[in-house]
Structure 1
Amino acid sequence: MRKLTIGSLLAFALITGFGCNSNKSNSENATDATSTDASSSADSGSMTSSDTTASSNMNATPTNQSANDFMLKAASGGMMEVTLGKLAQEKASNADVKAFGQKMVEDHSKANAELKTLAASKNVTLPVELIAEHQKHVDAMSKMSGADFDKHYMTMMVEDHQKDISEFEEASKNEDADVKGFASKTLPVLKMHLEMAQKANAKVSK
């Protein structure tokens, strides 16, 4: 009877031990499977992000050199108009000059935003600083105030918008349809600015 009891205990111990090992093995396998799935998911996410970026670049509409040059110069010119417009509101003495400056800030800020969106769609990086040609005007007029500022600013605005209109008219014939559309849309605004500048300049130049 005693021998039978001891044998039964040994058999029970063996069965219990096997069950623990089996559970441990199953747990480890489950952990490995979870790790593998997580790794696969991470790789899949990474590939999706990469594929999205590549797709975005492929969808960008290429542009020609003349269109690219136009956007770069127009971006700097637009920033200059906003900067000088703010200076006019601060330093000008004539009410019409101040009003003109405010109009420049409003209209060119809007045009600058549209140009930025256009350039981004073509993977064109616009300048964040003024080119030398435009910076010299800001440097010169930042030292002026009152009547001197009024005369210098309005004379410069007449000449600058005449140049802008010529450049935008040329761009409105560009082979790039998007650049052509932007230039054509902005031209009437520039012509209105020129008329305003000529009227204000006539008053302050007397």
Structure 2
Amino acid sequence: MGDATTPGVLRFSYGIMGSGKSTVALQVHHNLTRRGLLGVLCTLFDRDGTAVSSRLGVSRPAVEVTPEVDLLAMAHEFALVNGTLDFLVCDEVQFYAAGQVDQLGAVVDELGADVFAYGLLTDFRGRLFEGTQRMMELADEHVPLSVEARCWCGRRATHNARLVNGAMTREGETVVIGDTEAPETPLFGDVVTYELLCRRHYVEGLTG
């Protein structure tokens, strides 16, 4: 890692909400840094803002990948300042632009760094996110996360359903930040939450 002559890997690990992707991202980052490797933790639209946070309560500051961020330029600058770049750990890659996913591929090819990317597969409409689609097209490895979330009926959950004030919706902006639990004190008029459903109950629109 950290040498353009040494092949790196672009690995995309994916699942639905509740599948533990942020927890795994934090664990991978922790393990790599403990080995003395140098890298960057990145995210976008995390529930804690400019951090990668797990529902287990673990959080770590991260670089926010806003649309204007050039990840390849950032990686080259990090390598110039620190002498090397061994890895990037990127959470919430479903929200990255397709061009930024291309930049992650270039980080692997030009710098020999490993890129560990984590994200959701589909949005609340059951369609691939832009960043996810490009990642599936470009990644060297595709790894489904092993933690299985469950629908209210007990079957394996496969879809993230969006609820607005408790009612399931299939319309609206692709990116609306929410969680699987409603906030105790809503800050705005509508309360947006997400429920994990199996395919059957997602299609039928039956929530728990």
Higher helix share: 1
- Computing the radius of gyration from Cα coordinates, the structure with the larger value is 1
**Structure 1 length-normalised TM:** 0.27
**Structure 2 length-normalised TM:** 0.27
Higher RCO (C-alpha under 8 Å, 6+ residues apart)? 2
